[in-house]
């Protein structure tokens, strides 16, 4: 395993080194020591490498990730895995606001809780939160799946497009145009697969599904009160 | 006495200045439809503008440069603060961000062709980067917008600069809406949304709020792009002193400041006409912010919103800008609102020069549309040539003025070259009212 110690090396050194790893490299396993809440750790990666960050990170850890697996042993600051394209990001602790924002692909697993706006404007990413999520999560979510094993805060799925939301616990309130939907066999299968990939021991049947009512897809003045 | 007696002189009908015919028509339209008016373009109301400024030219105290012999440089370098590869442009006139989606692919290609031929940059918009646009743009600025439609790190790295869009002059504080009729299969795919639905562009970024966050966002963008390319921050003209200062604090290489005359693809008319400042009122406060921070010319300033001629370019630069951006003017150069389509404009209930329903996708000129038949009307090669010509003419005009003022580079134009025709323009541009040495607010003047 290769080691980069942020106590002695710069953030620039870290990202240059990790971004330089190509598909054929033998150095596929990396660890980052002493992150100490630094921002933009392991951003813009584009190789099937495994990076373990030993500690907690600041903003935008694993931002725009492609292919790589990034594992944070502590908690993550705002915007973890923002705009992720592919790969996997695992947070052992909690995640702050905007986790997985605008993500287009890949899997984000948060083993603790996620704060507000988790999955905001998500565009294809899969997010599995083992704890609870904060308010306005999946706001304007376009595509992908958000799985919440705990409870969801206020205004879940506000102004939702086509993202699918699965919640096992309570939902404090649903946002504009977000409704509970029937859990059909294909949804159970999607959920089963996501739980398995995230290593979560839970039954899909315990979850409820939420999605867009599609009433606000085309502007109509009679819906103005909904905004 | 009968007031209808024809033998008595009659009072003429007097139209109300307050309840004018356009206002009354809008009241009736709103009453009939129950929805506000949405349109494209920028503010149509008359506001203090560059027309209210004049150049003084050379005199005994200053001598001019020979118009057809002595060199007047027009080159500009953008992004010298942090970027390893600043953008070098032949002319200080850039093409503002306009999306594929709002514009046809042919129009985007034409913008790239014209800008490249003139030695300047063009800019993507709220819909991502198309291969045609990248292929035809020698220098392409990639907009990083709240919606993040089509955003991906590969395109980010393909860009020559990144423009973080906080706002735009037509609608500072507002988002956008690309209506369903313009959502073709390709536009829908690029934006990861179903075909035919209205696509909302958010008014603020999803993963940062405020200048402290913006600083970290810029750090992330630089780390992903290896600190290679300049990062611009674009704001609508509202609080230009503070917005410029905060953009600099956040680490911007370039500040883009867009006045209320700047166009949009689609926004509420009430927003376009009633929110934001004319660009004339924005430039001096922004320049002062840069000067106060010791960053004038270190962080470059691009201004936009109603730039039409070389005179406008020269005036913007004289007030302290490093470059300008054009949007609406570039579309007109391509063929937007051209009289050749008058009969079709009339069928749409409008006329040449007034067509602004860009959001409906029925543009007879084939520019603000996704309709394949309409879009095919625009020849990107010919339209690109027109844009090139127009950019060249603007540059020649600006050089003509600069030489007359005795300057061998457009950037040597200065406020002392200008005077104002109105009190309002004098106050906003902080140049003397014509024939005086005074402007409202001048330090020490007592006013």
Find which of B128, B207, B360 to mutate to test the A interface (most A CBs within 10 Å of its CB).
B207
Residue B199: pLDDT above 80? no
Domain ranges of chain B: 45-335+378-429
Q: Report which DSSP code applies to B302.
A: E
Instruction: List residues in chain A touching B: CB distance below 8 A.
Output: 11-12, 15-16, 19, 39-40, 43-44, 46, 58-60, 63-64, 66, 78-79, 82-83, 85, 97-98, 101-102, 104, 117, 120-121, 123-124, 139-140, 142-143, 159, 161-162, 217-219, 221-222
Whole-angstrom distance, CA of residue B100 vs CA of residue B95: 14
Name chain B contacts of A123, Cβ cutoff 8 Å: 148, 192
H/E element, A166: strand A164-167
Percentage of chain B modeled with pLDDT above 70: 99
- Report pLDDT digits (tens) over A173-183: 999 999 999 99
What are the tens digits of pLDDT across the range B92-109? 999 999 998 889 999 999
Q: How far apart are CA B369 and CA B336, in angstroms?
A: 11
- Shortest Cα–Cα distance, B96 to chain A (Å): 25
How far apart, in whole angstroms, are the C-alpha atoms of residue A28 and residue B354? 60
Residue A98 in domain: yes
The yes-or-no verdict on residue B21 having pLDDT over 90 is yes
pLDDT at B182 over 80: no
B360, B277 Cβ separation under 8 angstroms: no
CB B123 within 8 A of CB B93: no
**pLDDT tens for each residue of B46-57:** 999 999 999 999
For residue A29, the domain's CATH number is 2.160.20.60
Closest-CA residue of chain B to A136: B206
Alpha carbons B170 and A47: distance in angstroms, whole number:
41
Query: Residues of B with CB below 8 A from A100's CB?
Result: none
Residue (of B151, B158, B225, B172) closest to B42 by Cα position: B172
* B 223-262 residues inside an 8 A Cβ radius of A: 223-227
Q: Is the pLDDT of residue B446 over 70?
A: no
Split at pLDDT 50, 70, 90, the class of A87 is: very high
B65 touches chain A (CB under 8 A): no
Report if residue A227 sits inside a domain. no
d(CA A33, CA A52): 9
Among B185-189, B220-224, B387-391, name the one with the lowest average pLDDT: B185-189
Dist CA B210 CA B241 (whole Å) = 16
Band (pLDDT 50/70/90 cuts) for residue A226 is low
Backbone Cα Rg of chain A = 18
pLDDT tens per residue, range B314-354: 999 999 999 999 999 999 999 999 999 999 999 999 999 99
Could you give the 3-state DSSP secondary structure of residue B267?
strand
pLDDT greater than 90 at residue A220? no
pLDDT digits (tens, 9 = 90+) for A138-191: 999 999 999 999 999 999 999 999 999 999 999 999 999 999 999 999 999 999
Q: Select from A9, A43, A105, A214 the residue whose CB has the most chain B CBs within 10 Å, as the one to mutate to test that interface.
A: A43
Q: Yes or no: say if B26 and B20 are a contact pair by the CB < 8 Å rule.
A: no
| Cβ-Cβ contacts under 8 Å, B35 against chain A | 219, 221
Question: What percent of chain A has a predicted confidence (pLDDT) above 70?
Answer: 97
Q: Which of A6, A16, A38, A39 to mutate to test the interface with B (most CBs of B within 10 A)?
A: A39
Is residue B300 within 8 A of residue B279, CB to CB? The reply is no
Q: Quick one: pLDDT at residue B8? A: 86
Q: Which residues of chain B make contact with A39, given a CB cutoff of 8 A?
A: 216, 219-220
In whole angstroms, give the CA distance from residue B246 to residue B240: 10
**Looking at CA atoms only, how far is residue B369 from chain A in angstroms?**
18
Instruction: Give the residue with greater pLDDT, B422 vs B360.
Output: B422
Pairing of β B93-95 and β B121-123: unpaired
Task: Summarize pLDDT for B121-176 with one digit per residue, the tens.
Answer: 999 998 889 988 899 999 999 999 999 999 999 999 999 999 999 999 999 998 87
User: In terms of residue numbers, what domain contains A183?
Assistant: 2-215
What value does the mean pLDDT take over residues B204-232?
97
Decide if pLDDT at A221 tops 80.
no
pLDDT at res. A23: 65
**Number of residues that this document lists for chain A:** 227
SS3 (DSSP) at A88:
strand
Q: Residue B214's closest CA among B191, B189, B187, B232?
A: B232
- List the one residue out of A22, A25, A24, A61 whose CA is nearest residue A44: A61
Please check the confidence at residue B390 and state whether its pLDDT lies above 80.
yes
Name A57's bridge partners.
Answer: A76
Question: Domain for residue A224, yes or no?
Answer: no
Quick: pLDDT tens for B251-280.
999 999 999 999 999 899 999 999 999 999
Its sign, for the CA torsion B185, B187, B192, B197, is negative
Asked whether residue A222 is domain-assigned, the answer is no
Residues 169-208 of B with CB under 8 A from A: 177, 179-180, 191-194, 196-198, 200, 202, 206-208
Specify whether the CB–CB gap between A68 and A84 falls below 8 A: no
Could you tell me if residue A82 is inside a domain?
A: yes
Q: What is the mean pLDDT of chain B?
A: 94
pLDDT tens, residue by residue, A3-46: 999 999 999 999 999 999 976 677 799 999 999 999 999 999 99
Q: Given pLDDT bands bounded at 50, 70 and 90, which one contains residue A227?
A: low
3-state class percentages of chain B: helix first, strand second, coil last, to nearest 5: 35, 15, 45
Distance CA B358, CA A154 (A): 37
How many independent structural domains does chain A possess?
Answer: 1
Within 10 Å of residue B443's Cβ, how many Cβ atoms? Answer: 6
What are phi and psi for residue B348, nearest 5 degrees? -90, 5
Residue B187: band (very low, low, confident or very high) from pLDDT cuts 50, 70, 90: confident
Q: Which residue of A has its CA nearest to B151?
A: A83
B357 and B350 Cβ atoms separated by less than 8 Å: yes
Q: Which two tokens stand for residue B224?
A: 């992903």
Phi and psi at A204, nearest 5°, equal -55, -30
CB B55 within 8 A of CB B401: yes
- Compute the average pLDDT of residues A195-205: 97
pTM for the whole structure = 0.95
State how far the alpha carbon of B287 is from the alpha carbons of B157, B215, B218, in Å: 30, 21, 22
Nearby residues of A13 by Cβ (< 8 Å), 6 or more positions away: A4
Q: What CATH class is the domain B45-335+378-429?
A: alpha beta
């Amino acid at each position: 395993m290769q080691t980069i110690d942020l106590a002695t090396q710069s953030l620039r050194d870290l990202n240059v080194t990790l971004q330089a790893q190509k598909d054929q490299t033998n150095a596929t396993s990396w660890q980052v020591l002493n992150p100490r809440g630094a921002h933009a750790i392991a951003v813009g990666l584009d190789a099937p490498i495994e990076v373990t960050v030993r500690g907690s990170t600041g903003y935008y850890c694993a931002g725009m990730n492609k292919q790589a697996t990034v594992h944070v042993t502590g908690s993550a600051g705002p915007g973890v895995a923002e705009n992720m394209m592919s790969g996997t990001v695992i947070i052992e602790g909690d995640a702050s606001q905007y986790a997985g924002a605008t993500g287009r692909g890949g899997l984000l697993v948060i083993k603790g809780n996620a704060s507000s706006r988790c999955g905001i404007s998500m565009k294809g990413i899969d997010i599995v939160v083992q704890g609870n999520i904060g308010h306005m999560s999946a706001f304007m979510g376009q595509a992908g799946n958000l799985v919440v094993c705990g409870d969801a805060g206020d205004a879940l799925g506000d102004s939702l497009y086509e993202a699918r939301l699965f919640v096992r616990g309570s939902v404090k309130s649903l946002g504009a145009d977000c409704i509970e939907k029937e859990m059909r066999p294909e949804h159970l299968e999607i959920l089963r697969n996501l739980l398995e990939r995230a290593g979560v021991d839970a039954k899909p049947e315990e979850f409820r599904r939420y999605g867009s009512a599609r009433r606000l897809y085309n502007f109509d003045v009679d819906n103005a009160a909904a905004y | 006495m009968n007031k209808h007696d024809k033998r008595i002189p009659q009072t003429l009908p007097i139209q109300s200045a307050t309840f004018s015919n356009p206002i009354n028509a809008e009241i009736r339209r709103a009453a009939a439809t129950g929805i506000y008016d949405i349109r494209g373009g920028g503010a149509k109301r008359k506001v203090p503008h560059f027309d209210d400024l004049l150049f003084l030219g050379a005199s005994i105290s200053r001598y001019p440069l020979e118009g057809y012999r002595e060199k007047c440089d027009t080159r500009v370098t953008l992004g010298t603060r942090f970027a390893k590869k600043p953008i070098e442009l032949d002319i200080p006139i850039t093409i503002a961000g306009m999306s594929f989606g709002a514009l046809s692919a042919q129009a985007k290609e034409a913008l790239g062709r014209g800008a490249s031929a003139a030695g300047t940059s063009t800019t993507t918009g709220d819909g991502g980067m198309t291969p045609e646009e990248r292929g035809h743009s020698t220098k392409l600025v990639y907009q990083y917008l709240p919606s993040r439609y089509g955003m991906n790190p590969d395109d980010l790295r393909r860009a020559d600069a990144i423009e973080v869009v906080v706002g735009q002059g037509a609608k500072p504080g507002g988002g956008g809406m690309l209506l369903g009729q313009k959502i073709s299969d390709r536009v829908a795919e690029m934006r990861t949304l179903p075909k035919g639905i209205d696509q909302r562009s958010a008014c603020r970024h999803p993963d940062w709020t405020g200048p402290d966050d913006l600083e970290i966002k810029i750090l992330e963008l630089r780390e992903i792009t290896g600190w290679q390319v300049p990062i611009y921050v674009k704001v609508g003209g509202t609080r230009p002193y503070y917005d410029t200062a905060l953009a600099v604090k956040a680490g911007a290489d370039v500040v883009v400041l867009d006045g209320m005359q700047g166009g949009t693809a689609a926004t509420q008319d009430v927003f376009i006409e009633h929110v934001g400042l004319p660009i004339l009122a924005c430039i001096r406060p922004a320049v002062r912010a840069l000067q106060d921070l010791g960053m004038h010319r270190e962080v470059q300033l691009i201004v936009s919103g109603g730039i039409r001629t070389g005179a406008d370019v020269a005036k913007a630069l004289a007030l302290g800008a490093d470059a300008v951006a054009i949007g609406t003017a570039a579309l007109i150069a391509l063929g937007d609102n051209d009289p050749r389509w008058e009969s079709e404009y009339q069928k749409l209930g409008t006329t040449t020069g007034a067509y602004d329903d860009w959001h409906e996708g029925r543009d007879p000129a084939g520019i603000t549309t996704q309709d394949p038949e309409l879009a095919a009307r625009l020849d990107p090669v010919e339209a690109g040539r027109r844009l090139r010509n127009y950019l060249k003419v603007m540059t020649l005009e600006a050089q003509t003025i600069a030489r007359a003022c005795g300057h061998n580079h457009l950037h040597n134009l200065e406020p002392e070259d200008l005077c104002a025709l109105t009190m309002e323009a004098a106050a906003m541009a902080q140049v003397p009212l014509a024939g005086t040495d005074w402007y409202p607010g001048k330090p020490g003047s007592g006013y």
